[in-house]
Amino acid sequence: MGSISSALNLDLVRKFLLKRIENTLPVRVVQQPLDNLCWATCYRMVDNWLVPNNGFAWCRHARCASPGLACSGPKVHCNVPRLTSDVRNDWLALGYSKTVHQPNPLTVPAVRASIKAGVPVMIFLEHKGQAIGHFCLIVGTARMRFGVDTSFVIADPLKERLIEREATDLIVHGTWRESWEISQ
C-alpha cells in the first residue's frame, strides 16, 4: 500500500511542478481580410476587445492610412502596408492615448508586466533581408510553474486562433524590431 501511496504522491508532485501558469487577455483573433491589412487587423482586435459591440467598420482602422477614405469594408484600395513610424499616431487617432512605442523588442519581464496590467503588445516582425514585415499582438504569457522559459500567446492576423511561441524563438515571420504597448 505504501508504494501505491508514494506513486500517487510523486504523480501529484509532478503535476504540481509541471503546471502551466498562464496570463492571457481575452482578445479574440480576427483574420486579416487582405494581404497588407495585418496592422489594421491588430487595431480591430484591440478595439473589439476593449470596446465590445462597437460596430466599427474596417474603415475606422484602414482610414488611419488614408484620412478621408470612403470605403465600406476591407476593399482593395485599403490594402496598403503601414510604416512603423505611423503606428503610434494611428493608435492615438483611435483613442489609445497612453500607447507607448519602443523602437526595439521588449524584454520578457516587460511583456509579462504589460499583460498583467491588461495591456496588449503590438509587435512588428521584419521579414528577413527586407524592409517589410508583419504586425501581430502579444496577448499573453505562459510558463511552467518553476520554469524560466516563457512563451508568448500571440494573436496573429494570419492565423485562425491564438498561437504560442517561445520568447527566445519569436521568429514567426522574421525579426522582432518594434513594439507598442497599447493603452487608452
Mean pLDDT (whole number) for 140-150: 74
- Does residue 136 have a pLDDT over 80? yes
Residue 163 falls within a domain, yes or no?
A: yes
Q: If pLDDT is split at 50, 70 and 90, which confidence band does 36 have? A: confident
Quick count: other Cβ atoms within 10 Å of Cβ 67?
Answer: 7
Degrees, nearest 5: CA angle 150-155-88: 100
Q: Are 22 and 153 in contact (CB under 8 A)?
A: yes
Across the chain, what does the average pLDDT equal? 81
Percent of the chain having pLDDT more than 90? 41
Residue 152 domain flag: yes
Q: What pLDDT, on a 0 to 100 scale, did the predictor assign at position 162? A: 93
First-to-last CA distance in the chain? 59
Q: Tell me how many domains the chain contains.
A: 1
Amino acid 123: pLDDT: 96
Is 126 inside any structural domain?
yes
Q: What is the CATH number of the domain that holds 169?
A: 3.90.70.10
Is 52 a member of any domain?
A: yes
DSSP-derived pairing of the beta strands 100-102 and 175-181: antiparallel
CA–CA distance, 157 with 130 (Å, rounded to integer): 20
The domain in which residue 36 lies consists of 20-181
Averaged pLDDT for residues 123-143: 88
Backbone angles phi, psi at 118, to 5 degrees: 80, 25
- The phi-psi region of residue 118 (left if phi > 0; otherwise alpha if psi is between -120 and 50; otherwise beta) is left
- pLDDT exceeds 80 at position 54: no
- Tell whether pTM > 0.85: no
Q: Within a domain: residue 10?
A: no
81 falls in which pLDDT band (50, 70, 90)? confident
Q: Which residues, including other chains, have CB under 8 Å from residue 98's CB and lie 6 or more apart?
A: 183, 184
